[in-house]
Amino acid sequence: EPEEDDGPQWLHVWVPHGPTFASGAYRLVSGQRYNGFPVWWKTGQQEGTDCWIYSTSREHWAVGGAWETMAGAGSAQAWIYSPVRHCGRSPDQMPRSWQHNQPEWTTDAAILFTELADDDVLSLADVQASVAAARRGRARTRPNN
């Protein structure tokens, strides 16, 4: 069972500009902590695009990749970063002052972190699966000319 202070089981991240590939549903990684705080993970669409939500050593939430290389994770490996120290608050409780780094660090109030209930995650997965199926269906029915 996850500890009480681990934060939400699921977080949804919406990134409308810049590193939009970081958008999606992130699952709490059970038993995994980084800099003493919980970690959430999302599978990427392509290899090498897995994303992680983690705390920097100075208690700023960040979204980045390449977990194996994050021994000294700061904002350098991050695509999204909260300039406000979290002081133990989960990412969905942070003010809307998130920044993304494409092409340079920019504050974007449209970046949104929300807690998801398990039911929401299932329906989200269903939507993504049906969209993918519809795309595959369209691809199959295209005339070969």
Query: pLDDT, tens digit, for every residue of 115-127?
Result: 998 887 777 777 7
The full DSSP string for 20-62 is: GGG-EEEEEEEEEEETTEEEEEE--SSTT--EEEEE-TTS-EE
Q: Is residue 76 pLDDT above 90, yes or no?
A: no
Q: Is residue 34 pLDDT above 60, yes or no?
A: yes
